[in-house]
Amino acid sequence: MLLDRIVITCCSQLKTGRSVSAIYHLLKGKKSIQTVQDAHIYKLDNFYGIYKSLKKQNFDGKIDKLTSAGLIQHNGNSSVIPTTLGYEWLQKNANSIPLYYFNGMKYSSSATIFFERLVLLIQTITNSSNNNLNFIPVVDDKPVVTGWVKKQYYVIKQDQNYFLQSFYDELYDLLKCFQDQEASMFVDSLTGFKHYGMSSYQLANNYNLNLIDVPLALTGIIHHMLFTIEQDSRKYPLLSRIKNELPEYSNTTKSATKTRELLNCHYTAEEISIIRNLKLNTIYDHIVEIALYDERFPLDNYIDEQGQQEVLNVINRLKSYKLKDIKQEINKEISYFQIRLVLAVENIT
């Protein structure tokens, strides 16, 4: 149900612009420029990387099911759009886990770490305050989680009761911002002393969800938690700490970061291509990626104002973001690279 809603919403945004696998890459959070650009251009950045464990076969199955239910339809060039029925269905089923909870572009890399730290911290402190240090930790193979919890533990150990009480108060306030079912589901997934949290399968059973929606629902809840904590961080000092001490994360790929360093040293794309021994088109990809995130990207260095305006005019006339269509309608002097840069910059602001 939840995945259905998200997939149909994605279809409605992408329209005929992109193929159906673009949705899959988006949900998986593929670190390719194409996917990141899709997220921005089609205003789907909230869904970026929200379902990293999604399997291709399950996704394909979902598309087939939605198609045969008449909610979406295939459109020649392997793209998929919602039917009228699909739009109606979307309207009717907007209740639990609102889609605005999701903010994948912002939280997809930190949400899992935040949640795992929270869970492991609760398991550790509740066991420790029962004088039981022989428990099998729910997470034990990620230093970014376990190392952090260990450090916290030495501080909290001094006054565990105080910690538990304040932690309860904060979580209580935070969960009050959610519907009861959402709050309950979240609490059921936590592990404490002599109590193991529910598996995906159990949550699906207890809350009448499809198994495939469970990870998504939890992700939505966690994203909205992160957002709520951020809005009023003074109200949630402990939770803010879990959230804020996350490792630095940059949205740009490693390779693009290197290219940016060279750009900052005033090398041209062509020179960087030689220095790095990479194809010029790869460097172009990097620059487009940088343009997506850098609000002060010097677009004028790459295409003059007249050219920029021309690209925008064509887009407005065609009502399409498809590069090929735009290229055909535009002055031959303007390259694909320049069109992509305009798209990247225009859509982020």
Partner 1 sequence: MSVNILRTQLLNQFNIRSFREGQEEIINDVMHGKDVLGILPTGSGKSLCYQLPAIIMEGVTIVVSPLISLMQDQVKQLKSTGFKSVIALNSFLEQKEKKRVFQHLDEYKLIYISPEYLQQSQIIDYLKNIKISLFVVDEAHCISQWGHEFRPDYLRLGSILEKINNPTVLALSATATKEVQEDIIYSLSRPNIRKHIYPMDRENISFTVQKVNRENEKKEIIVNLLKNHRVPTLIYFSSKRKTEEVAAFLSENVPSHRTAFYHGDMEQLDRNTIQQQFMNDQIDVICCTSAFGMGINKHNIRLVLHYHFPLQIESYIQEIGRAGRDGESSVSILLYTSGDELIPNAIISNELPRVERLDTIFMNLYRLYIESPKFLSYQDMQEKLQLNETEWRFLHYQMEKHGMIKGNKIVYQKDKWSNALHDISALIETRKSLKERKLREIINWIHEEECLREHLYKSFQDSYKTPLYGCCTNCGFTINEWSAKQTEVNHSTNTWENKLQNLLLIGVQNA
125 vs 314, which CB is nearer to partner 1?
125
42/115 with CB nearer partner 1: 115
Nearest distance from C-beta of residue 164 to partner 1, angstroms: 5
The rounded distance, in Å, linking the Cα atoms of 21 and 199 is 29
Q: Shortest distance, CB of residue 325 to partner 1, whole angstroms?
A: 43
- CB neighbours of residue 114 within 10 Å: 22
Least distance to partner 1 from the beta carbon of 51, Å? 14
Smallest separation, CB 305 to partner 1 (Å): 50
At 9, the amino acid letter reads T
Q: By C-beta, is 52 or 276 nearer to partner 1?
A: 52
- C-beta closer to partner 1: residue 94 or 187: 187
CB 330 within 8 A of CB 339: yes
The least CB distance from residue 58 to partner 1, in Å, is 13
The answer to whether 191 touches 137, Cβ cutoff 8 Å, is: no
CA angle 56/12/294 to nearest 5° reads 80
Among candidates 47, 38, 28, which has minimal Cα distance to 79? Answer: 38
Nearer to partner 1, 122 or 242 (CB): 122
Residues in touch with partner 1 (CB under 8 A):
122, 126, 129-131, 133-136, 138, 140, 160-161, 164-165, 167-168, 171-172, 175, 180, 183-184, 186-188, 190, 192-202, 205
Q: How many residues does the chain have?
A: 349
Rounded CA-CA distance 346/41 in Å is: 9
CA 168-212-94 angle, 5° bins: 75
With beta carbons less than 8 A apart as the criterion, state whether 283 and 290 touch.
no
Residue 193 Cβ vs partner 1, minimum distance, rounded to whole Å: 7
